[in-house]
Amino acid sequence: MKIGVIGASGYSGGELLRLLINHPNFELEYLAAGSHAGELITSVHPHLTALSGRRFEATDTARALDCELVFFALPHGQSAVLIAQLPAQIRIVDLGADYRLTDPDQWEKYYGGSYAGAWTYGLPEIKGFRSEISSSTRVANPGCYATAIALSVAPAIDARLIDQSDIVVVAASGTTGAGRSAKVSLLGSEVMNSLTSYKFGGVHQHTPEIEQTLTRISGAETTISFTPILAPMPRGILATVTAKFAKSDHLAGALDSICRDAYMKYFEGETFISLLEAGQMPKTASVLGSNSVQMQIAVDEHSHRLVVSTVIDNLGKGAAGQALQNANLMCGLPETLGLWQVGTP
């Protein structure tokens, strides 16, 4: 299949190229980067020596017509106007936020601008989502934080273990999560040896996306308190998610065993998700360069809360890896194709 990547010069776009180079069923036909059009790909992504001599093309929807599947890796709000010009038979995975939210009011509140609508949400490990992705030609790739956080508590919600109205999240991300545009706050001199919270107090744009996904699992309204942290590392996410246990008779007994059994059952057969053995803790280094998810769960008896620690690579399972996983499903291919990489600690 001929593949296009629009926004190929960014961090997520570059990671997509790295994965697609070795994909046995996809051929890189059209690689676009508006601001870098005409430049050698290796001048921006020097590690992609397999693409030596190739240059980024201009962003042109007419050129995208030569492709059977196109990945859009553009900043939020920029994909929809281009996608509207493409015919329905072209499969599309959008790594931006343009088609993630089902509520126009939430889009206006957290993003602003014209609301483009909602597509199939591409988080295959949430029950029921995989079959929808497989039958779709347009898929909205989840946000990086949203992926880590939703997976952290989906089993607990499915098993009715927790109170969905009281979920608290503190999550740290590497600097690539902010994109490639130059920002003073992301200079090495600013982030080295320092941690800082940002967009806290319920204003981070992934908040409604996470609540929407978790509400869909059980039908019960979900509320999260989300504090993101900028970590002094290029890539990776560590999310700590806690929730008060529900008041229910079915929770009588050993909560540790009940919770672990629920998580093992929910993620049974999931290639990319590992619930670690007791005593092991997730590390961002263990998933770098992969589409993997590692998590650990615990019961805080003092506060009667479930605690979940989850790590992903924000450019892997949080962006490009998950986009390729979704594309495989959309094309009827094994979803692990081209995603065999393990972490590189």
Q: Which of 67, 144, 259, 331 is catalytic?
A: 144
3-state secondary structure 299-323: EECCCCEEEEEEEECCCHHHHHHHH
Residue of 106 and 187 predicted with greater confidence: 106
The per-residue pLDDT for range 37-52, each reduced to its tens digit, is 999 999 999 999 999 9
The per-residue pLDDT for range 228-241, each reduced to its tens digit, is 999 999 999 999 99
| 8 Å CB contact between 125 and 270 | yes
Instruction: Compute φ and ψ for 167, nearest 5 degrees.
Output: -110, 125
Give the mean model confidence (pLDDT) for residues 262-277: 97
The per-residue pLDDT for range 150-184, each reduced to its tens digit, is 999 999 999 999 999 999 999 999 988 767 676 77
The per-residue pLDDT for range 130-143, each reduced to its tens digit, is 999 999 999 999 99
- Quote the CA–CA distance of 139 and 123 in Å, as a whole number: 10
**Identity (one letter) of the amino acid at 310?**
T
Give the mean model confidence (pLDDT) for residues 303-318: 96
Taking the CA of residue 59 as centre, how many other CA atoms within 13 Å lie in the half-sphere pointing to its CB? 20
Where does 2-118 sit in CATH, by number?
3.40.50.720
- Quote the CA–CA distance of 42 and 39 in Å, as a whole number: 8
- Quote the CA–CA distance of 39 and 79 in Å, as a whole number: 22
Whole-number pLDDT of residue 187: 75
- Residue 218: its H or E element: helix 207-218
Whole-number pLDDT of residue 247: 80
**How high does pLDDT run on average in the chain?**
94
Q: Is pLDDT above 80 for 17?
A: yes
Whole-number pLDDT of residue 215: 96
Angle formed by the axes of helices 144-158 and 207-218, nearest 10°: 20
CATH code matching the domain that covers 145-316, chosen among 3.60.15.10, 3.10.180.10, 1.20.1440.130, 3.30.360.10: 3.30.360.10
Select from 126, 308, 318 the least CA-distant residue to 212: 126
Q: Is pLDDT above 90 for 253?
A: no
User: Where do the domains of the chain lie?
Assistant: 2-118, 145-316
Alpha carbon of 159 to those of 126, 151, 188, 221: distances in Å? 13, 13, 44, 15
The per-residue pLDDT for range 50-69, each reduced to its tens digit, is 999 999 999 999 999 999 99
Cα four-point dihedral sign 232, 230, 224, 134: negative
Whole-number pLDDT of residue 180: 67
Taking the CA of residue 138 as centre, how many other CA atoms within 13 Å lie in the half-sphere pointing to its CB? 17
67 is catalytic: no
Percent of residues, the chain, with pLDDT higher than 70: 96
Number of Cβ within 10 Å of residue 144's Cβ equals: 29
Whole-number pLDDT of residue 191: 76
- Quote the CA–CA distance of 133 and 330 in Å, as a whole number: 6
